[in-house]
Structure 1
Amino acid sequence: MMPETSRRKQRSFWVELPILLLVAVIVAVLVRTFLVQTFYIPSGSMENTLLINDRVLVNKMVYRFREPRRGEVVVFVPPKQWDAGPSKDDYIKRVVAVGGDKIICCDPSGKITVNGRPLTEDYLFEDDVPSAQPFEVTVPTGRLFVLGDHRSSSADSRFHTDYQFGTIPVDDVVGRAFVIFWPLSRVGTLSVPKAYEEIPAPSGG
């Protein structure tokens, strides 16, 4: 016969279990909503930085305290002017220029320039050029000019310059992709390339 104290402990466990499960679900929902979210890579627009089927972690808190910076990989809601449709998944691209920046493609060496400084993009997909399509844009305040690392396979800011110069609102950025966590063979951080450290501030700033 089970002792009375043991029976009480067993009943207590089964009473507490649903509460613990509910708390765990609430914590998971809060983390996903406000802190960190996983993101699945559905296309090759960011190759070879990100490959199809990679999974990344997205920091959703960082831009509550500061704005996105050049060189960061961000997840964002595509503007409706990009013909993405209301059910289209979020996009993931690299921020190449921020509000006030003047970005031009291309200089005589074939490089994109940001505020007059040529950008060495050693992360581009093999044999891709910085852009086959010329452009010259001064990014409006509060917006970002974003490009995929696989330029020949990316629908990005270059193709929507008829609206706000192809830029996206900072407010539509979901967060910063900061690490690849799956597959295990691809685990690694998504750091900002050093070339972006050499870009000067906009001349008007």
Structure 2
Amino acid sequence: MDNTKRQPRKQGWRFVLLAVALAVAISGLVRSLWIDVYFIPSESMEPLLGPGDRILVSRTDFSVNPVHRGDVVVFDGRGTFAPLNSGKGPLADTAQAVGHWLGITGSDTTYVKRVIGIPGDHVECCGADGKLTVNGQGLEEPYLYPGDRPSDQNFNVVVPQGRLWLMGDHRSRSADSRGLLGAPGGGMVPIERVIGRPIQIVWPLDRFAEVPRPAPAGTTTTNGQ
């Protein structure tokens, strides 16, 4: 058998495998430090983000610009929005983690919501005009899903230091801080659980668009102080 032909072939496969491994490593580094990809599985953030959208998320945005009211954030909901253990078993959890990493499935523990209250805010539903109030002031919400009311559930909360009150834009289809008032943390997410800010819809192509950041409204925070 002619080994001179097999040797270049083996070296070619080694080069391909090395290139793939290097590409995966670089991608993992970029996604863990700067930009990640997330799949939107639900209707809770319509009309801004819809089911099936793939979004780019900046992991560094809030290290430069503080979190403020009106921001849309991607966050780890474990211990607040999600149970600490999905209970699906290691194989199912691994398969979901791979799909989530590839940006083709959602996650049981990662969520996208809008910041309504920051530390120290008094958030209430609702005022005489039917609007949410923040620190006694009616909140203008042009991002709400058409036909939705600000909330069908009454609540009256003061956001603790280091936490955020989060709600979806499609209020009638969103499970958010309102439904977790009796849960650990009172439905309010620690600021350190924020992963980043959506900056671009990349798929489907007919929805390719920048996700704008709203102008700051009132007090801002990066560390819960």
How far apart, in 2, do the equivalents of 1:146 and 1:80 lie? Answer: 15
Q: What is the aligned partner in structure 1 of residue 200 from structure 2?
A: 179
Q: What is the aligned partner in structure 2 of residue 156 from structure 1?
A: 176
Q: What is the aligned partner in structure 2 of residue 94 from structure 1?
A: 114
How far apart, in 2, do the equivalents of 1:201 and 1:158 lie? Answer: 22
Match for 1:62: what amino acid? D
1:16 positional shift: 6.3
Q: Secondary structure in 2 aligned to 1:80? A: coil
Conserved in 1, the CA contact under 8 Å of 2:66 and 2:220? Answer: no
Conserved in 2, the CA contact under 8 Å of 1:117 and 1:199? Answer: no
1:129 positional shift: 0.3
Asked whether 1:146 is paired with 2:166, we answer yes
Conserved in 1, the CA contact under 8 Å of 2:68 and 2:217? Answer: no
1:190 positional shift: 1.9
Q: Report the count of equivalent residues.
A: 191
Conserved in 2, the CA contact under 8 Å of 1:115 and 1:199? Answer: no
Q: Deviations over 1:109-161 (max 9, x none)?
A: 11111122211111111110000111111111110000000001111001111
Q: Deviations over 1:80-113 (max 9, x none)?
A: 3545452324111111111111111111111111
Q: Deviations over 1:54-90 (max 9, x none)?
A: 1111111233455422111111121435454523241
Root mean square deviation, CA, Å: 2.5
User: What TM-score results when the alignment is normalised by the length of structure 2?
Assistant: 0.75
Match for 1:133: what amino acid? Q
How far apart, in 2, do the equivalents of 1:36 and 1:51 lie? Answer: 20
Q: Secondary structure in 2 aligned to 1:100? A: coil
Q: Give the one of 160, 167, 192 matched to 2:213.
A: 192
Q: Give the one of 118, 126, 134 matched to 1:106.
A: 126
How far apart, in 1, do the equivalents of 2:164 and 2:217 lie? Answer: 18
Match for 2:166: what amino acid? V
Q: What is the aligned partner in structure 1 of residue 157 from structure 2?
A: 137
Gaps of 5+ in 2: 1-7, 87-107
1:198 positional shift: 4.3
How far apart, in 2, do the equivalents of 1:33 and 1:198 lie? Answer: 29
Gaps of 5+ in 1: 1-9
Q: Secondary structure in 2 aligned to 1:37? A: strand
Q: What is the aligned partner in structure 2 of residue 34 from structure 1?
A: 33
Conserved in 2, the CA contact under 8 Å of 1:73 and 1:178? Answer: no
- Structure ID, larger Rg: 1
Conserved in 2, the CA contact under 8 Å of 1:115 and 1:200? Answer: no
1:200 positional shift: 5.7
1:33 positional shift: 1.4
Residues 19 and 187 of structure 1: CA distance in aligned 2, closer, same or farther (over 3 Å): same
Identity of aligned residues (%): 39
